Structure 1
Amino acid sequence: MRGLAACIAVLSLTVSSWVALPSARAEDAPPPVEAPVPEAGRFTMVPSEGGFVRLDTRTGIVSHCRRETADAAAPWRCATIPEDVLNQPDRLSALSEQIETLVRELAALRMRVETLEHDKKAAPVASPDLSSDEEAQRALDFSEELMRRFFGLMREMKRGDDNRT
């Protein structure tokens, strides 16, 4: 801020010397006098995209200032930046962290898939041995016995209902 104030002071001295002495030559002009650096002003300004950010050192309010249009003669407008935007962490770094996390998770998943595919190729698929006629016959006999018992129970239940009426 002191550098900015010093630049403004030197600039104002230079401009005032040009206005006060329009016919004077540069050789005749006295050497420039260093102006005392004033105290820090009320506002601190930092260049930003499309304008500058202004901090009110008395109230702490932060504003973004930019021209209304691209025209150099357009007036500057400052809009206060809401507190919730100022308190948010840097959005870009948060997204970068999320991307890094997702990349690590993706790499871990790819390794799991490769391991599963490798294990699948290494181990032959065990198919049930249904070619044995003896086992097939046992399964068929079991099913027939189950059905006989079921229908036998149904007949008994029907007879029991007929006798009660």
Structure 2
Amino acid sequence: MLCVCGNGAANAEVKSDGENGRFALSPLSDGVIRLDTRTGDVSTCSNSGTGWACYAVPDERAALDAEIGRLQAENEKLKAELLTAREPTVTGKIDEPLPKTDSLKPEPKVESERKIEIPLPSDRDMDRVMSFLEQAWRRLVDVANRMQKDIAGKI
């Protein structure tokens, strides 16, 4: 009688798991995928001639959560290092105002004691240049006139 009662209790337990829908099965080409609806574990089950065997599918979410946790800890550590490495900030009013400079304009170079002076041409030099330009202009006009006469005479 005890055996029957023990057997009945075991059958009732299995039936209650099936009735509550603890496992959801989906067919595969070589077996089934089993989802435990209570724990969320996933297994692949296949018949290997000697009987059915189920193997747990690796949980990628756990690996991702572990990596996220590691990166968050590293991020916090680096932030703390940056805060300690920073120079202390100045608080309060500064006595002297900062000089106003335009960062877009380069500052002029100041040469000490060394000045470059370019002498202007004298009146004599200017007269020589003007006479050269007058002669060059007259020659150009003479060449143009001769060409015009040659073209008019040949036509």
Query: Structure 2 length normalisation: TM-score?
Result: 0.31
Larger Rg: 2
Higher relative contact order (CA 8 A, sep 6+): 1
Query: Structure 1 length normalisation: TM-score?
Result: 0.30
